[in-house]
């Protein structure tokens, strides 16, 4: 199988997402690189038929693909694994899998299909209960199921858009083993990622996009310095800086006994300085994201935050940002102006759209969002969607509850996000964030909560903790 992309261009309003892109692929695992907003997601959506380009053509084995037709792309053997799973969270895994498979016979033998699916899952060592709800799985597990659906449907070209951003180390290893085997079997893999270590490990070649243009094609062996200099026009990585300050006020976290591992001695009540960054570390599939959400919803446990002197905490004091951008964080069919207008309703019943427009344009510039106020959320890259969610943080003193705030971001974008988050330390009550990246937890946290499964294994100020112990705690080693 081979794919040829000719003169592909696509604009969203004044934003040129792709500009005259040409690319030929015949075999192997090919990386698609570029900073957030470079045009990677737009290109893969065009190849997979999700959106129609303004210009250009695509050929599979010299046969032209009908552009803007997901059905035709699937029939041609093109499969896309999105950064955010495209499934039905309220259905069982089996029901969701059934909806997406290619079975032409209207009188399907459900038991036979189930047997084939179970065999496929066993072959790739994916251990999930097909009867459980899809929304009970982690994002990484849902992506694994999605990949198996593509294989079930006979995909010959598989596009993976930031596939490992929510994977555990074991899930990533299994994914890479699978990709290597698929490549040996003649399947072309397009691997979209900002993680250069993964690209070096798994890919044979790469194309670099910048500002919507394909600027360079490279092959192994890769040079990381050269790649970074091509990806980022300024040829430099943004640095992080945070002012030191001493806050006198405190807040208190009262932990439920059921949340704490019963084999370790952990106090149920912890007094923490206001302005602290509290990192909740855990392996993919653990409950570190759930603990972030629980401070706002109280649906997971009775663990709760209190202010000193019994001051009342209102729900408006919290800003919760989920890891799943499109399913829980944003409205895919609404534009940026409408999102900022909606955020105003938490403060007033009357929306002044001129003020909202001014604020939206200011935030787009401040957070370097590659879009304008008329851009719909589903037109943006994953990284720009993340920036939109962060740009909606309230201006007032708050508890920020951030699930995996840099998931899917390149190093420059991640640093920029953290620079903006850290600027809020001086005024906010606290900043909570979850991450599966121990380096990120260690770099930005003042207090670290280590979670293994559903249990908290350790709570400690970073200054009293050794970094190596975090890995042991989140692995359940006491």
Q: Is 244 a member of any domain? A: no
pLDDT average, residue stretch 274-291: 88
Q: What is the SS3 assignment for 348-360?
A: CCCCCHHHHHHHH
pLDDT average, residue stretch 181-196: 86
In angstroms, the CA 121 to CA 144 distance is: 9
Question: Which of 196, 231, 266 delimits the end of a domain?
Answer: 231
Strand, helix or coil at 20? strand
pLDDT score, position 46 = 93
60 CB neighbour count, 10 Å cutoff: 21
Q: Return the bridge partners of 92, or none.
A: 133
Whether pLDDT at 380 is above 50: yes
The answer to whether 333 touches 339, Cβ cutoff 8 Å, is no
In angstroms, the Cα distances linking 269 to 254, 257, 280, 311 are 5, 10, 16, 17
Question: Which of 231, 261, 290 delimits the end of a domain?
Answer: 231
Strand, helix or coil at 15? strand
What single-letter DSSP state applies at residue 326? Answer: I
In angstroms, the CA 454 to CA 445 distance is: 21
Assigned token pair, 231:
């990806």
| pLDDT, averaged across the chain | 86
pLDDT score, position 350 = 86
Residue-range definition of the domain harbouring residue 258 = 250-474
Whether pLDDT at 12 is above 60: yes
Axis crossing angle, helix 382-391 with helix 411-422, rounded to the nearest 10: 10
Q: Is 305 a member of any domain? A: yes
Q: Is the same domain home to 85 and 223?
A: yes
pLDDT score, position 399 = 94
Q: Return the bridge partners of 122, or none.
A: none
Residue 436's Cβ-count burial label (10 Å; 0-12, 13-18, 19+) is buried
Whether pLDDT at 237 is above 50: no
Whether pLDDT at 27 is above 80: yes
The angle subtended at Cα 282 by Cα 277 and Cα 288, nearest 5°, is: 65
Q: Is the same domain home to 176 and 278?
A: no
Q: Is the same domain home to 209 and 177?
A: yes
Q: pLDDT tens across 339-379, in order?
A: 999 888 877 778 899 999 999 999 999 888 888 999 999 88
Q: Return the bridge partners of 402, or none.
A: 321, 433
pLDDT average, residue stretch 206-226: 90
Q: Is the same domain home to 121 and 266?
A: no
Q: Count Cα atoms within 13 angstroms, Cβ side, for 454.
A: 8
Q: Is 342 a member of any domain? A: yes
pLDDT average, residue stretch 132-155: 83
Closest CA to 143 of 185, 87, 199, 198: 87
Q: Is the same domain home to 386 and 439?
A: yes
Q: Is 367 a member of any domain? A: yes
- Across 79-88, 243-252, 316-325, the highest mean pLDDT is recorded for 316-325
| Strand spans (E) along 232-302 | 250-254, 269-273, 276-281
Q: Is the same domain home to 115 and 263?
A: no
Is the pLDDT higher at 431 or at 99?
431
Sign of CA dihedral 357, 363, 364, 366: positive
Whether pLDDT at 234 is above 70: no
In angstroms, the CA 192 to CA 408 distance is: 10
Q: Return the bridge partners of 33, or none.
A: 208
Closest CA to 379 of 324, 326, 323: 326
Q: pLDDT tens across 447-466, in order?
A: 999 998 888 999 999 999 99
Q: Is the same domain home to 201 and 147?
A: yes
Assigned token pair, 323:
């890891």
**Residues 39-56 as b or e (16 or more Cβ within 10 Å = b):** bbbbbbbbbbbbbebeeb
pLDDT average, residue stretch 261-270: 87
Question: Which of 198, 231, 264 delimits the end of a domain?
Answer: 231
pLDDT score, position 354 = 93
Whether pLDDT at 52 is above 70: yes
Query: At 443, which CATH number?
Result: 3.40.50.300
- 338, 342, 348, 349 alpha-carbon torsion, rounded to 10°: 80
Q: Is 428 a member of any domain? A: yes
Q: Is the same domain home to 11 and 77?
A: yes
| Strand spans (E) along 360-446 | 399-403, 430-435
In the chain, the number of structural domains is: 2
Q: Is 236 a member of any domain? A: no
Q: Is the same domain home to 424 and 335?
A: yes
Q: Is the same domain home to 164 and 66?
A: yes
Q: Is 464 a member of any domain? A: yes
Q: Is 238 a member of any domain? A: no
pLDDT score, position 309 = 80
- CA 94 distance to own-chain centroid: 24
Q: Return the bridge partners of 218, or none.
A: 206
Is the pLDDT higher at 198 or at 174?
198
Q: Return the bridge partners of 281, or none.
A: 435, 450
14 CB neighbour count, 10 Å cutoff: 9
Q: Is the same domain home to 31 and 98?
A: yes
pLDDT score, position 312 = 79
pLDDT score, position 243 = 56
Model's pTM, two decimal places?
0.64
pLDDT score, position 31 = 93
The angle subtended at Cα 461 by Cα 458 and Cα 464, nearest 5°, is: 90
Sign of CA dihedral 73, 74, 78, 83: positive
Q: pLDDT tens across 390-417, in order?
A: 899 888 899 999 999 987 777 777 888 8
The answer to whether 380 touches 17, Cβ cutoff 8 Å, is no
Q: Is the same domain home to 165 and 17?
A: yes
In angstroms, the CA 131 to CA 415 distance is: 41
In angstroms, the CA 441 to CA 249 distance is: 24
337 CB neighbour count, 10 Å cutoff: 19
């Amino acid at each position: 199988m081979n794919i040829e992309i000719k003169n592909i261009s696509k604009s969203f309003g004044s934003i040129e997402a792709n500009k005259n892109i040409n690319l030929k692929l015949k075999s192997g695992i090919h990386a698609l690189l570029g900073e957030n907003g470079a045009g990677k997601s737009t290109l893969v959506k065009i190849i997979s038929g999700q959106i129609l380009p303004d210009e250009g053509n695509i050929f599979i084995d010299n046969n032209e693909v009908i552009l803007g037709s997901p059905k035709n792309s699937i029939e041609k053997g093109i499969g896309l694994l999105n950064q955010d799973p495209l499934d039905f969270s309220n259905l069982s895994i089996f029901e969701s899998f059934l909806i997406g498979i290619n079975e032409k016979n209207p009188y399907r033998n459900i038991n036979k299909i189930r047997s084939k699916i179970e065999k496929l899952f066993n072959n790739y060592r994916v251990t999930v209960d097909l009867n459980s709800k899809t929304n009970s799985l982690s994002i990484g597990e849902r992506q694994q199921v999605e990949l198996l659906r593509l294989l079930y449907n006979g995909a010959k070209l598989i596009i993976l858009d930031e596939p490992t951003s929510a994977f555990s180390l074991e899930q990533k290893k299994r994914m890479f083993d699978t990709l290597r085997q698929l490549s040996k079997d003649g399947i072309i893999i397009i691997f979209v990622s900002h993680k250069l270590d993964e690209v070096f490990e798994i890919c044979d070649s790469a194309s670099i996009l910048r500002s919507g243009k394909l600027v360079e094609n490279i092959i192994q062996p890769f040079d990381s310095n050269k790649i970074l200099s091509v990806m980022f026009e300024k040829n430099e990585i943004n640095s992080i800086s945070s002012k030191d300050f001493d806050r006198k006020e405190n807040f208190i976290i009262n932990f439920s006994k059921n949340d704490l591992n019963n084999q370790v001695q952990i106090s149920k009540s912890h007094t923490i300085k206001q302005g602290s960054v509290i990192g909740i570390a855990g392996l993919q599939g653990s409950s570190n994201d759930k603990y972030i959400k629980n401070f706002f919803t109280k649906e997971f446990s009775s663990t709760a935050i209190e202010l000193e002197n019994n001051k009342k905490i209102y729900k408006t004091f919290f800003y919760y940002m989920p890891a799943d951008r499109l399913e829980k964080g944003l409205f895919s069919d609404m534009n940026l102006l409408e999102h900022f207008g909606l955020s105003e309703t938490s403060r007033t019943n009357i929306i002044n759209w001129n003020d909202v427009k001014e604020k939206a344009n200011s935030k787009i510039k401040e957070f370097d969002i590659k879009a304008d106020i008329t851009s719909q959320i589903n037109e943006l890259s994953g990284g720009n969607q993340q920036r939109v969610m962060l740009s909606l943080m309230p201006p007032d003193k708050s508890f920020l509850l951030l699930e995996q705030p840099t998931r899917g971001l390149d190093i420059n974008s991640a640093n920029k996000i953290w620079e903006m988050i850290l600027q809020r330390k001086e005024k906010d009550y606290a900043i909570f964030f979850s991450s599966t990246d121990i380096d990120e937890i260690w770099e930005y946290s003042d207090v670290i909560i280590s979670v293994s499964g559903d249990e908290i294994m350790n709570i400690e100020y970073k200054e009293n903790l050794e970094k190596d112990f975090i890995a042991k705690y989140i692995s359940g080693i006491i």
